[in-house]
Amino acid sequence: MNIVVCLKQVPKKDSILRIGADQKWIDERDLSYEMSEADAYALEEALRQKEKHGGEVIVISSGPERVRQSIKEALAKGADRAIHLTDPLFNSGDPAVIARALAGALKNEKFDLIFTGLQSDDYGFAQVGLILAEMLGLPSATIVMEVQPEDSGVRVKRELESGWFQWVKLPMPALLTIQSGINQLRYATLKGIMAAKKKEIKEVKAADIGFTESDAISAQSIQRAYFPEKTKRTEIIEGKPAEAAAKLMEKLRFDARVF
């Protein structure tokens, strides 16, 4: 079973973020990066499926030179080969543009499943996977917590709200967006790191996949990035103590949602 895993590199979780000079995104200088968490789980799930059923794990990622480090990490953990979309034309905050680039690069790949993380730790759109499925004409399932390949397709357990789950069956090839916590992440090993030196990282430019300037046009743009603005509002609750307490409880429960 061949599985493609889409990876995104994002600023490390403990980064100290500053707003960039153009006020549209964070200042990316001096940041350290890591694999987006849900993507790390998607990779782990792919590696586990490969260990059970054989086949190949191919990772694909788009972005500048620094992204290579996350690709290498995936290879060190056990992915077989990688595709790196390096053309600056692919760089976009629009999930449709990224999905278009990924679809172009995957057109000639043979795979049974595509995994993406449920959503990225930076933009958090949760869209790339679904748009990619649409573009490739694949069935898809989101927020996946368990993957069971069967003869005629794949059974997956989806997470719903309030602790509910749902089992869905899809024909293959299919695309699944994987929820964080589906499994336990492995470490790369020293041996894995050394073995990764010999694994293929295919670089893909826009021209290689017929991706044009018009494909890169974003349908959406960021207007302004800013830190949550702190506001302070004081409200005096009037009435007898028992009534005031009841009102306070209501506000804490439904407005502040601390219970």
Partner 1 sequence: MDYTLTEEQEQLRRLVEDFVAREVKPYEETAGEDFPWPLFRKLGELGLASIPFPTEYGGGGLDYTSYSIVLEELSRLGTHLGSVLAVHGLPQLILNQFGDESQKRKYLPAMARAELLGAFALTEPQAGSDAAAIKTRAELRGDKYILRGQKIWITHGGDADVYLVMAVTEKGKGSKGISSFIIEKGTPGLAFGKRERPMGLAHHTREVFFEDCEAPRSCLVGREGDGFKVAMTALDSGRITVASTSLGLAQSAFDYALSYANERQAFGKSIGEFQGIQFMLADMAAAIEAARCVTRKAAFLRDNGLPFNAIASMAKLLATDAAMKVTTDAVQIYGGYGTSEDYPVQALFRQAKIGQIVEGTNQIQRMIIARELLKKFKQ
Residues forming the site for partner 1 (CB under 8 A): 68-69, 72-73, 76, 187-194, 196-197
| Tokens 């949550």 found at | 228
> Within its chain, how far is the Cα of 200 from the centroid?
23
Q: To the nearest whole angstrom, how small is the minimum distance from the Cβ of residue 34 to partner 1?
A: 8
Q: To the nearest whole angstrom, how small is the minimum distance from the Cβ of residue 85 to partner 1?
A: 19
Tell me the chain's radius of gyration from C-alpha atoms. 22
Q: To the nearest whole angstrom, how small is the minimum distance from the Cβ of residue 258 to partner 1?
A: 25
Q: Select 153 or 192, whichever has its Cβ closest to partner 1.
A: 192
Three-state DSSP state, 136: helix
Q: Select 166 or 189, whichever has its Cβ closest to partner 1.
A: 189
Q: Select 194 or 207, whichever has its Cβ closest to partner 1.
A: 194
Q: Select 43 or 131, whichever has its Cβ closest to partner 1.
A: 43
Q: Are residues 111 and 175 in contact, defined by beta-carbon separation less than 8 angstroms?
A: no
- Say how many C-beta atoms besides its own lie within 10 A of residue 205's C-beta: 13
Residues facing 169 on adjacent strands: 155
The H or E element that residue 244 is part of is helix 241-250
Q: To the nearest whole angstrom, how small is the minimum distance from the Cβ of residue 191 to partner 1?
A: 5
Select from 178, 160, 174, 167 the least CA-distant residue to 118: 178
Phi-psi region of 10 (alpha: psi -120 to 50; beta: other; left: phi over 0): beta
Contacts of 251 (CB under 8 A, 6+ apart): 237
Q: Select 57 or 101, whichever has its Cβ closest to partner 1.
A: 57
Q: To the nearest whole angstrom, how small is the minimum distance from the Cβ of residue 69 to partner 1?
A: 7
Q: Select 14 or 238, whichever has its Cβ closest to partner 1.
A: 14
Three-state DSSP state, 146: strand
